[in-house]
Chains A and B, each alone.
Chain A
Amino acid sequence: NAGVTQTPKFRILKIGQSMTLQCTQDMNHNYMYWYRQDPGMGLKLIYYSVGAGITDKGEVPNGYNVSRSTTEDFPLRLELAAPSQTSVYFCASSYSDSKGGNEQYFGPGTRLTVT
């Protein structure tokens, strides 16, 4: 299994540009997540999905959109990039079980700079 893959690894955007960060997992996990991590800080949840066709906001959703048309893919869209969105973005996936198991598997991250 490749696990969770993210593309691109690095990207520089100009203010006002848009882009999509791609995330794919091959573990058949029903839950997927997008986090951002600013320098020296912990991760903050942007959006999450509990299954195909279902998404919900996390702690910091403003300026982002997501979709989940398949189990495997969970792209994150930035419509009008702003300098405040300069960050490292991590995608993660997990299964859910009745015992509360929540071992999230993280991708390698996308480093985004908006100038």
Chain B
Amino acid sequence: DAKTTQPTSMDCAEGRAANLPCNHSTISGNEYVYWYRQIHSQGPQYIIHGLKNNETNEMASLIITEDRKSSTLILPHATLRDTAVYYCIVRSNNAGNMLTFGGGTRLMVKP
């Protein structure tokens, strides 16, 4: 599976959009981009995933560049409860459904 690069930490003001970037320049054509988050001491929580097209659900939007070498997770109106570590993960269908978690981005939402 392709490796990902994320900033170690980011701050965001409450009510503003949080844009979390992820680089995956070695991504292969059959690899999906997944985003999970982990709120302190809890198990990781699935947010969203995509292959080529931009995706949106009730939690967030995922914007994938046309060359698929990077993506951005957007939390449209960040709240204090969105403070967490956000993991960007790239995996293929034939990886035994395994997820490889890197260091992630620690997002701090401030009042």
What residues make up the interface of A, taking CB atoms closer than 8 Å to B? 4, 31, 33, 35, 41-45, 48, 50, 56, 58-59, 88, 90, 92, 94, 96, 100-109
Contacts and interface: CB of A to CB of B under 8 A. Distances in A.
Contacts, number: 61
Interface of B: 30, 32, 34, 36, 41-46, 49, 51, 87, 91-93, 96-104
A108 B101 contact: no
Given A33-B98, A106-B44, A108-B43, 10 more contacts: A48-B96, A50-B97, A56-B96, A92-B43, A92-B44, A101-B49, A104-B44, A104-B99, A109-B41, A109-B42
A31 B97 contact: yes
Contacts of A108: 42-43
B86 to A, nearest CB: 11
B46 A103 contact: yes
A100 B51 contact: yes
Nearest to B91: A102
B98 A48 contact: yes
Which residue, A43, A56, A92, A105, has most C-beta atoms of chain B within 10 A?
A: A43
